[in-house]
């Protein structure tokens, strides 16, 4: 009898069956242990299967598990209040959704309804979700020819990263500012989609120059364009601040959350905006059948409490600095390591065929991930040149050191 695969898994070339997970460790169905350097792509930021969060969900299951769109569970209101408490006071209205793509879709619809404009500006090779409209925000047009029409409502700029350029950081920022203003001065762009100074979702870990968010905020305000800040990957302490917007202390018009929001225990996302913008929400139809299930809110509320109580972002600042130092100490001079970059505990190792041309090296990148997996270290890459390192924010130093040692040894052994 021939068995067919009913779960499509082509996206991940190194898929394995997970049997158990705890803290910074994963176990497969054969009992093999792995150190996790992915956090499920910035989901299990507090470590896998944190018991306090599981207990909060277990308790809520015995009370109520569902609240439909036309009424509100008390726990939903508690979480909304807690979330607003840690955000800038201007961000006082939120919609209940199930994840990042839905939050970003709500944000885009709301921006169009509020401004009366249709055009959306995104950056090439960024990721804001897997539905068609979100793919069109960050994908190059030639990547979408088989599933999309030539939609002129989406405008794109190259992301102002400070790698693979001969310009210094100040020059990169100045060039970006000119390019952005040239688009926005037409006053026909509803919103700019951006992350908080780093590309977390695509896997490149490209870092923008300091001042990137400040420039985007100033120019969007100048030309009546909304700023949608996608904090799905950068939120909840990952970059060394509770939220990435705090690095430059800007206030977006709309911000979206998901991933680390419930630490992977239950699906949940949020679109948070200003009341004056939310007031025009009717045409945007901001509904979600399973948005903010009470069990999801229980997980999210406990997750937020832990971040605040333990000041996880302060730990991230120290651990991220340490990781960067260790990687540079061991790999800075490696002929195939073109760049080591990142923010907080999102770090990217960029592999090249040689340092002069900076030509991407996908074969080596994927080989490192595979060999590290065989040696008990779980990694992910962008399948082009970058391995993005995202360990749990609570990872113990001895476990972190062990993982770094495996990574460094694999890279040195595979030196080309």
What DSSP string describes 315-369?
HHHHHHHHHHHHHHHHHTT-TTEEEEEEETTEEEEEEBS-TTTT-B-HHHHHHHH
pLDDT for res 269:
98
End residue of a domain, out of 310, 326, 351: 310
Comparing CA positions, the residue from 74, 71, 54, 53 lying closest to residue 63 is 74
Same domain, 261 and 330: no
List, in sequence order, every residue forming a beta bridge with 121; answer none if it has no partner.
155, 192
- C-alpha gyration radius of the chain: 21
d(CA 360, CA 367): 14
Say what the pLDDT of residue 171 is: 96
* pLDDT score at 68: 86
In a domain, 282, yes or no: yes
Q: Among residues 114, 189, 184, which one has the least CA distance to residue 152?
A: 189
Structure tokens at 210: 């300091």
Give yes or no: residues 45 and 155 share one domain.
Answer: no
Statement to judge: residues 396 and 259 lie in one domain: no
Could you tell me the strand order of the sheet in which 154-157 lies? 93-97, 269-273, 254-257, 226-230, 189-194, 119-123, 154-157
**Do 59 and 200 lie in a common domain?**
yes
Among 309, 296, 308, smallest CA distance to 264 is for: 296
Please tell me whether residues 38 and 115 are part of one structural domain.
no
Residue 13 in domain? no
pLDDT tens digits in sequence order for the chain, 416 residues long: 444 556 656 555 566 789 999 999 999 999 999 999 999 999 999 999 999 999 999 999 999 998 888 888 899 999 999 999 999 999 999 999 999 999 999 999 999 999 999 999 999 999 999 888 888 999 888 888 888 777 789 999 999 998 988 889 999 999 999 999 999 999 999 999 999 999 998 889 999 999 999 999 999 999 999 999 999 999 999 999 999 999 999 999 999 999 999 999 999 999 999 999 999 888 878 888 999 999 999 999 999 999 999 999 999 999 999 999 999 999 999 999 999 999 999 999 999 999 989 999 999 999 999 999 999 999 999 999 999 999 999 999 999 999 999 999 999 998 65
10 Å CB burial of residue 164 (0-12, 13-18, 19+) is: middle
> What's the CATH code of the domain at 409?
3.90.1150.10
CATH number at residue 94: 3.40.640.10
CA distance 50 to 264: 10
Whether residues 163 and 66 fall in one domain: yes
* Angstrom distance (rounded) from CA 386 to CA 380: 9
Question: What is the number of domains present in the chain?
Answer: 2
**Is the same domain home to 222 and 290?**
yes
Among 281, 310, 339, residue at a domain's last position? 310
Q: Which residue's structure tokens are 């762009």?
A: 189
Q: Tell me whether residue 9 is in a domain.
A: no
Provide the edge-to-edge strand list for the sheet that holds 380-381.
337-343, 346-351, 386-389, 380-381
Residue 179 within any structural domain of the chain = yes
3 state SS of 313: helix
Which residue range forms the structural domain that includes residue 335? 18-50+311-413
Tokens 């025009």 belong to 280
Please indicate, yes or no, whether residues 292 and 367 belong to a single structural domain of this protein.
Answer: no
**Given this model, what pLDDT does residue 193 score?**
98
Note the pLDDT of residue 1.
43
The three-class DSSP label of residue 254 is strand
The verdict on 38 and 91 lying in the same domain is no
């Amino acid at each position: 009898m021939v068995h067919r695969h009913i779960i499509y898994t082509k996206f991940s070339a190194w898929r394995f069956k997970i049997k158990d997970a705890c803290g910074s460790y994963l176990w497969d169905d054969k009992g093999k242990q792995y150190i996790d350097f992915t956090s499920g792509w910035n989901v299990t930021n507090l470590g896998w299967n944190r018991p306090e969060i599981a207990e909060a969900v277990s308790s809520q299951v015995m009370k109520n598990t569902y609240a439909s769109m036309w009424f509100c569970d008390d726990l939903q209101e508690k979480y909304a209040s807690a979330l607003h408490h840690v955000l800038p006071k201007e961000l006082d209205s939120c919609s209940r959704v199930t994840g990042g793509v839905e939050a970003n879709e709500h944000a885009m619809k709301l921006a169009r309804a509020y401004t009366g404009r249709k055009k959306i500006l995104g950056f090439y090779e960024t990721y804001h979700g897997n539905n068609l409209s979100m793919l069109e925000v960050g994908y190059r047009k030639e990547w979408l020819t088989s599933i999309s029409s030539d939609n002129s409502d989406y405008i794109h700029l190259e992301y102002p990263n400070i790698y693979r350029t001969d310009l210094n950081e100040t020059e990169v920022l100045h060039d970006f500012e000119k390019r952005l203003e040239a688009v926005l001065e037409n006053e026909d762009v509803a919103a700019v989609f951006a992350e908080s100074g780093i590309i977390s979702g695509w896997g490149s870990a490209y870092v923008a120059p300091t001042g990137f968010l400040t420039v985007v905020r100033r120019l969007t305000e100048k030309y009546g364009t909304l700023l949608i800040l996608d904090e799905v990957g950068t939120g909840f302490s990952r970059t060394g601040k509770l939220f990435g917007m705090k690095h430059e202390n800007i206030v977006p018009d709309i911000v979206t959350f998901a991933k680390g929001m419930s630490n992977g225990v239950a699906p949940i996302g949020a679109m948070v905006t200003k009341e004056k913008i939310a007031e025009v929400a009717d045409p945007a139809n901001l509904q979600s059948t399973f948005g903010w299930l009470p069990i999801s809110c229980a997980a999210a509320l406990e997750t937020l409490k832990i971040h605040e109580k333990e000041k996880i972002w302060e730990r991230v600042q120290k651990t991220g600095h340490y990781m960067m130092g260790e990687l540079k100490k061991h790999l800075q001079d490696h002929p195939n390591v073109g760049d080591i970059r990142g923010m907080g505990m999102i770090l990217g190792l960029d592999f090249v065929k040689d340092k002069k041309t900076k030509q991407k090296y996908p074969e080596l990148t994927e080989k490192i991930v595979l060999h590290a997996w065989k040696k008990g270290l779980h990694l992910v890459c962008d399948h082009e040149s970058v391995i993005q390192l995202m360990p749990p924010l609570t990872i113990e130093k001895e476990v972190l050191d062990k993982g770094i040692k495996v990574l460094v040894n694999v890279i040195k052994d595979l030196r080309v």
